[in-house]
């Protein structure tokens, strides 16, 4: 494909008309819906999934552009993402404030809970009656969310902010810090539906779950500033589960960031389109690795690019062959009707290969005067 052809296609690349004025991402909505459907259809069947936010880099002007301090990508579009432990993305929904396309029946529970419950509905829609376990951070976690997920028959674990524990009578963080490192305090509901715990690590770590509890405790290595050496402390089981399965979305973002499509355009939705292409390729690589593929991410991208080029290459249609300018040897040397005639354009002499302004009338090839006799003998 030529550069001009590529620029023409890129300028006129179009996904959708402005049909839904309430949806700020209406320009890319059909593609988001289609990819979410395909991602879910081919997703690996696992027990643990994580929900987190992802950033799509964008430095132009748009109402949905976000600035999140401390993120590797500080400026861009934010999206809610559900992924497996290794980073396969099942579901993505771009953030657009109050009009984010989550299930409206969860609106009263707040944005964070609506996002998690919408992803839970996506998992349930797969049709497999499995004990899915969803992991998320303290932006989403609250006791109403834990209760709703329990009603759906799913399991969950997430860090929780102290002001969202519904006045759970836990020891205060100030007193817990005075205890030895690894100390834990927890409370369960009367019907043992879920548990909320505080754990003394480098700081106070608050966590809630309806699936796992404190035991069996694990061993965790930490560096002690006072002793200037590594020490071993006890880590609650629910903390181990959270640390093991929470990083799927971040892993996906990291993998995509290494080889992100770097095409720049003037249309605000182009970063979203290129990100979704990257996301589809990344998911394909994850499935390839599950099937014991040995290529790394870069090698897989190269293989995909080569396959796309080869599949779209058009074989040139061959028309009737042009008659050869080379006369048969018998005709060239028959010594009949061979005449030197001038020609308007320079050509190469068939004998000496120098430029000449004469040719043989019968043979119809360039031949200089000096080589005319030699060529025909």
**CA distance to 188, 198, 209, 265, 322, per residue, from 195 (Å):** 4, 10, 6, 50, 84
Tell me what percent of the residues of the chain surpass a pLDDT of 90. 44
Tell me what percent of the residues of the chain surpass a pLDDT of 70. 95
125-134, 187-196, 317-326: range with lowest mean pLDDT: 317-326
CA distance 119 to 91: 7
CA distance 252 to 81: 10
CA distance 201 to 183: 8
Residue-wise pLDDT tens digits, 239-290: 999 999 999 999 999 999 999 998 887 889 899 999 999 999 999 999 999 9
The enclosing H or E element of 186 equals: strand 184-188
Residue-wise pLDDT tens digits, 76-133: 999 999 999 999 999 999 999 877 888 888 888 888 999 999 999 999 998 877 889 9
The per-residue b/e assignment along 273-311, b for 16 or more CB within 10 angstroms, e otherwise, is bbbbebbbbbbebbebbeeeeeeebeebbeebeeeeeee
Collect contacts of 178-187 with beta carbons under 8 A, ≥24 apart. Answer: 181/222, 181/224, 181/231, 181/233, 182/220, 182/233, 182/234, 182/235, 184/214, 184/234, 184/236, 186/213, 186/214, 186/236
Residue-wise pLDDT tens digits, 140-151: 998 889 999 999
- Does the structure show a pLDDT above 60 at 217? yes
CA distance 46 to 43: 9
**CA distance to 196, 233, 234, per residue, from 180 (Å):** 20, 9, 11
10-19, 169-178, 239-248, 349-358: range with lowest mean pLDDT: 10-19
Question: What's the mean pLDDT in 6-30?
Answer: 83
Question: What's the mean pLDDT in 36-60?
Answer: 93
Across the chain, mean pLDDT equals 88
CA distance 33 to 26: 11
What is residue 224's predicted lDDT score, i.e. its pLDDT? 83
Strand order in the sheet with 340-348: 340-348, 355-360, 365-366
Query: Are 293 and 301 contacting, i.e. CB atoms less than 8 angstroms apart?
Result: no
Q: Cα 127 to the chain's mean position, in Å?
A: 25
324 upstream amide cis, omega within 30 of 0 = no
Question: What's the mean pLDDT in 330-342?
Answer: 81
Residue 287 structure tokens: 């499935």
- Does the structure show a pLDDT above 60 at 320? no
What is residue 322's predicted lDDT score, i.e. its pLDDT? 55
Q: CA angle, 135 as apex, 130 and 137 as ends, to 5°?
A: 160
* β-pair partners for 94: 79
- Does the structure show a pLDDT above 80 at 314? no
How far the first Cα of the chain sits from its last, in Å, is: 48
Residue-wise pLDDT tens digits, 219-233: 888 888 888 888 888
Question: What's the mean pLDDT in 332-357?
Answer: 88
Question: What's the mean pLDDT in 336-352?
Answer: 89
């Amino acid at each position: 494909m030529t550069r001009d052809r590529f620029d023409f296609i890129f300028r006129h690349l179009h996904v959708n008309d402005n049909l839904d004025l309430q949806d700020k991402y209406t320009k890319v909505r059909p593609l988001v819906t289609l990819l979410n459907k395909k991602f879910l259809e081919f997703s690996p069947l696992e027990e643990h999934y994580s929900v987190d936010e992802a950033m799509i880099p964008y430095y132009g002007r748009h109402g949905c552009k976000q600035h999140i301090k401390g993120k590797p990508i500080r400026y861009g579009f934010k999206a809610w993402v559900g992924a497996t432990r290794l980073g396969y993305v099942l579901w993505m929904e771009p953030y657009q404030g109050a009009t984010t396309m989550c299930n409206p029946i969860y609106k009263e529970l707040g944005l964070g809970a609506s996002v998690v419950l919408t992803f839970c509905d996506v998992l349930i829609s797969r049709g497999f009656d499995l004990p899915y376990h969803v992991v998320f951070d303290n932006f989403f976690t609250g006791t109403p969310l834990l209760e709703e997920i329990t009603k759906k028959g799913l399991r969950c674990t997430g860090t929780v902010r102290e002001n969202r524990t519904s006045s759970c009578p836990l020891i205060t963080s100030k007193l817990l810090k005075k205890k030895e490192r690894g100390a834990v305090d927890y409370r369960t509901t009367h019907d043992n539906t879920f548990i909320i715990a505080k754990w003394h690590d480098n700081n106070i770590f608050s966590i809630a779950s309806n699936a796992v509890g404190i035991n069996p405790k694990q061993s965790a290595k930490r560096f002690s500033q006072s002793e200037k050496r590594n020490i071993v402390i006890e880590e609650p089981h629910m903390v181990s589960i959270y640390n093991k399965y929470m990083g799927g979305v971040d892993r996906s973002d990291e993998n995509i960031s290494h080889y992100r499509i770097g095409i720049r355009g003037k249309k605000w939705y182009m970063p979203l389109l290129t990100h979704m292409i990257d996301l589809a390729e990344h998911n394909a690589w994850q499935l390839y690795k599950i099937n014991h593929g040995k290529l790394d991410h870069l090698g897989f991208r190269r293989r995909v690019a080569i396959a796309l080029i080869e599949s779209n290459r058009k074989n040139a249609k061959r028309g009737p062959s042009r008659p050869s300018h080379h006369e048969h040897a018998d005709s060239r040397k028959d010594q009949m009707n061979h005449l030197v005639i001038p020609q308007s354009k320079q050509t190469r002499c068939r004998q000496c290969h120098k430029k000449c302004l004469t040719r043989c009338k019968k043979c119809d090839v360039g031949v200089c005067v000096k080589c005319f006799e030699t060529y025909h003998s």
